[in-house]
Structure 1
Amino acid sequence: MKPWILLGAAGIPGSTGELRLYQRDAEHAIRILGVSGDLMNSRLHGSEDALGELACVRLAGRPAPRLLIGGLGMGFTLAAALKGLASDAEVIVAELIPAVVEWNRGPLGIHAGHPLQDPRVTVREEDVAGIIQREANAFDAILLDVDNGPEGLTREENNWLYSNAGLSACFRALRPEGILAVWSAGPKPVFTERLRQQGFAVEEQQVRAHRGRKGARHNIWLARRGA
């Protein structure tokens, strides 16, 4: 088997950690320096696809929906969301690490079909938490694929998003009947209860990392703000 080739590296703001982009033949992986395994892999994105698909199904029929996606990753959630949205939609992607945006405009773009080129998309190179705190009653859906889900891995500051304060801010940032969709590496019952405490009606689904029946099971919460 061919060895992995290092294509790029980027520091993680607010952390001593470092993201690294690797390539092996047509496959790409993003890893955290010093942490075993892939943070993301271009072959295993079934649950990222599902995050975008499941959220947008619940927006069917809404005129000019406005979405906020926290965490660009390899672009799979964005691409899946765009497929489920009409031409009048607006999608804002918040990505804290500029290199991740650069990688998606470069070697990673082919995997998800270059979704950053879609005219409905605007990229903001900032922490999604700041947008959520600033904009009230602004989004029909907020999709969070930040860190490893409610259990942070890359930076401690990400934990705020999944706290009571962060979820309350998400509730305020959503429009009536808006959807908060959250990706996680695994289930976390305390987080489900936390969503309900903040006033969300909660669905929970487990999806495979790989399309079909392969790969690890990941968790997606679909939390609806009431009218």
Structure 2
Amino acid sequence: MLPWIHLATATAPQGDRLRLFRRGDEFSIRLDGGNELMNSRLGGSEEALATLALERLAGRPGPRVLIGGLGMGFTLRAAQAAAPRGARLIVAEIVPDLVSWAGQHMAAVFGDCLSDPRVEVRTGDVGAAIRAETAGFDAILLDVDNGPDGLTVADNDALYADAGLLAARRALAAGGILAVWSAAPDAGFSKRLSRSGFDVTTHTVRAGRTRRGARHTIWIAVRQGG
């Protein structure tokens, strides 16, 4: 078996160190200590995040979609495949090095998706992008810090606690979609979504594209009211 080759290291704003590895045509991003955050062969659930959300926007000719986290681009590429020509896809990535890796080390993974005129990549906190908008997005897709479990980290309250969900609701147009990826189910988060003014459905999907791999959870939350 081919060995893993260390390609690059980045430091996130919170201080976490991320390492990029390659083995043949497979890529892996890991935290210091070896915990894998993402792998180029396991993007099925991240793709489902976009597909499930964009299905709900069928008929909107120019949806404006905010994607929280670039990662390896799984969610972005799935959104590109599902979105109409007039869509605008805004990606907020808090770690600048990940954007650089996309065009350098992982160019074979990303292809030409970042040159799509519908795509805008912003380096910054997706929470700030949400709080800056009022009824400005048709969908917000969040794949940040393993999902609502991120509440164990104070910085993630801005996304997954009550105040963060209310901010997301304000940022969405009528009938807009908040889609959230998580490594695990969370009944408490479903309740928070409901009391924040969303009609919620929960989906269990596989990490792999062939019904293999870990089971992940996706919430599709539709903004209620005007």
Partners of 1:125 and 1:195 in 2: how far apart?
A: 27
- The match for 1:2 is 2
In 2: Cα distance, 1:163 partner to 1:79 partner: 28
Query: Which residue of the partner structure matches residue 138 of structure 1?
Result: 136
Flag the 1:154–1:32 CA change in 2: closer, same or farther, 3 A: farther
**Is the contact made by 2:151 and 2:157 (CA closer than 8 Å) also made in structure 1?**
no
Alignment partner of 2:114: what SS?
helix
Aligned to 2:149: 151
* Aligned-partner SS, 2:150: coil
Q: Quickly say closer, same or farther: Cα 1:114–1:151, change in 2 above 3 A.
A: farther
TM-score (norm: length of structure 2): 0.96
1:154: Cα distance to partner? 10
User: Secondary structure, in 3 states, of the residue corresponding to 1:63?
Assistant: coil
Shift of 1:109: 3.4
Aligned-partner Cα distance in 1 for 2:136–2:124: 17
Q: Would the aligned equivalents of 2:102 and 2:110 in 1 still touch at CA under 8 Å?
A: no
8 Å CA contact 1:147, 1:153 repeated in 2: no
Aligned residues: 225
The residue matched to 2:50 in structure 1 has which SS?
helix
With normalisation by structure 1, the TM-score equals 0.95
TM-fit CA distance, 1:210: 0.3
Deviations along 1:55-90, one digit per CA (max 9) or x if unpaired, are 111110002110000000100100000101111100
Deviation at 1:155, TM superposition (A): 5.9
For residues 62 and 27 of structure 1, what CA distance do their matches in structure 2 show? 36
Closer/same/farther in 2, CA of residues 154 and 46 from structure 1, 3 Å limit: farther
CA contact (8 A) 1:72 1:101 kept: yes
Q: Does 1:122 align with 2:120?
A: yes
What is the DSSP-based 3-state SS (H/G/I as helix, E as strand, rest coil) of the residue aligned with 1:62?
coil
Distance 2:208 2:79 in 1: 18
Deviation of residue 171 (structure 1)?
Answer: 0.2
Mapped to 2, the partners of 1:159 and 1:3 lie a distance apart of: 39
Q: Counterparts of 1:43 and 1:115 in 2: how far apart (Å)?
A: 18
| Deviation, structure 1 residue 3 | 1.7
| Residue in 2 that maps onto 1:31 | 30
Distance 1:154 1:107, change over 3 A: farther
**CA–CA distance in structure 2, aligned partners of residues 158 and 29 of structure 1:** 24
Identity %: 54
2: CA distance, partners of 1:96 / 1:108: 18
Equivalent residue for 1:104, pick from 98, 102, 105: 102
Q: Could you list the runs of 5+ residues in structure 1 that have no partner in the other structure?
A: none
Q: CA RMSD in A?
A: 1.5
Counterpart-to-counterpart distance in 2, 1:37 and 1:3 = 17
Q: How far, CA to CA, are the matches of 2:123 and 2:177 in structure 1?
A: 23
How much has 1:2 moved relative to structure 2?
Answer: 1.9
Mapped to 2, the partners of 1:224 and 1:154 lie a distance apart of: 26
Q: CA deviation at 1:207?
A: 0.3
Letter of the 2:30 partner, please give it. Answer: R
